[in-house]
């Protein structure tokens, strides 16, 4: 089945060369529902050329509110797969597919792919299966790797001590949703820094994940960093080989500490960093280097909020705070659908 996914993705990549001329389209979800606001979560589409956001839907299915927080988004072609964080309910304990809280994998449809002849009428799809993330890992991120057919995911726990691994890397089956941790021996408890890293945390806390077109896996760390003045970082993660389960420091991202959760996406071999308040940056130089150099570049959105800023517009956003929701899950499908 993964070979089929890879074949579909190869065709999609060819089509995307033409689609790219019209600008990349990104997707994200506000994860308000389990926050103190208890507002409905919202599924957005963003034009990354202009910054214009479009509210697709609130997260509900058959009249029931979806409470899981989908902090990870991974696209295969024009289909998005949402990965929910762990939240109170353990795997295989009868958690309801719609209203339950056990971490799972769910389909999300993009505009233009529904309604369908089989009766599918909306953007929120069915549950694929439960991931079985470990208890307590209440941060998640995800991305699809077209080179091997797996969805990769991060699960993180900020309550763990700073001298212990706080993030784990998983492979998720697109057909069953089941997650399998990567790492053994020294990395069995979670991701640790590679010996050749020139900066960064020994035990980084990740909340964004992306896979570039050449199959490299990258993660972002912008909160709960142990290093004062780190101001956000990008690491390369390894799923195979001698460094499997380890993270190599690549670069710092921003000149100041923003203290924000992040989403991370890739288009080609460029990373797009989304802060939870809607600000977007790109990182093109992914050569490992020493700490202290901020390599992220702010985008300029003519239709952003405010105009000509690097902040996406979020019309229809439900929020009681200083900014819209809590944008974390982030992905840019190879096939932009308008």
* Structural domains in the chain plus CATH codes: 2-331 (2.120.10)
pLDDT at residue 262 is higher than 50: yes
pLDDT reading at 36 higher than 80: no
Mean pLDDT of the chain: 87
Would you state the pLDDT for residue 118?
A: 76
In angstroms, the CA 79 to CA 50 distance is: 23
- Is the backbone peptide bond immediately before 306 cis, with ω within 30 degrees of 0? yes
Grouping H, G, I as helix, E, B as strand and the rest as coil, residue 94 is coil
- Closest Cα partner for 250 from 298, 210, 278, 310? 210
Q: List pLDDT tens digits, range 104-115.
A: 999 999 998 888
pTM: 0.90
């Amino acid at each position: 089945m993964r070979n089929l996914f890879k074949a579909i993705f190869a065709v999609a990549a060819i089509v995307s060369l033409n689609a790219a001329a019209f600008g990349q389209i990104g997707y994200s979800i506000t994860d308000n529902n389990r926050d103190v606001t208890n507002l409905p979560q919202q599924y957005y589409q963003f034009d990354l050329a202009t910054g214009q956001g479009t509210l697709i839907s609130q997260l509900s299915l058959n009249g029931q509110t979806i409470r899981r927080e989908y902090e990870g988004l991974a696209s295969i072609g024009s289909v998005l797969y949402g990965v929910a964080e762990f939240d109170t309910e353990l795997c295989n304990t009868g958690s309801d597919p719609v209203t339950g809280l056990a971490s799972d994998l769910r389909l999300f449809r993009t505009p233009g792919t529904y309604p369908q002849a089989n009766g599918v009428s909306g953007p929120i799809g069915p549950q694929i299966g439960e991931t079985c993330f470990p208890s307590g890992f209440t941060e998640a991120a995800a991305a699809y790797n077209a080179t091997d057919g797996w969805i990769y995911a991060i699960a993180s726990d900020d309550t763990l001590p700073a001298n212990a691994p706080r993030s784990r890397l998983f492979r998720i089956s697109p057909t069953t949703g089941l997650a399998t941790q990567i790492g053994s021996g020294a990395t069995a408890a979670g991701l640790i820094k590679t010996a050749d890293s020139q900066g960064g945390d020994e035990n980084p806390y990740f909340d964004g994940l992306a896979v570039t077109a050449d199959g490299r896996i990258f993660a972002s760390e912008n909160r709960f960093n142990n290093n004062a003045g780190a101001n956000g970082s990008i690491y390369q993660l390894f799923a195979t080989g001698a460094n499997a389960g380890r993270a190599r420091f690549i670069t710092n991202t921003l000149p100041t500490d923003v203290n924000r959760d992040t989403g991370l996406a890739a288009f080609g071999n460029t990373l797009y960093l989304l802060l939870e308040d809607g600000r977007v940056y790109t990182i093109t130089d992914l050569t490992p280097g020493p700490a202290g150099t901020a390599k992220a570049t702010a985008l300029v959105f003519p239709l952003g909020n405010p105009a000509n800023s690097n902040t996406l517009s979020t019309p229809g956003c439900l929020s009681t705070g200083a900014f819209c929701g809590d944008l974390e899950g982030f992905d840019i499908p190879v096939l932009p659908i308008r």
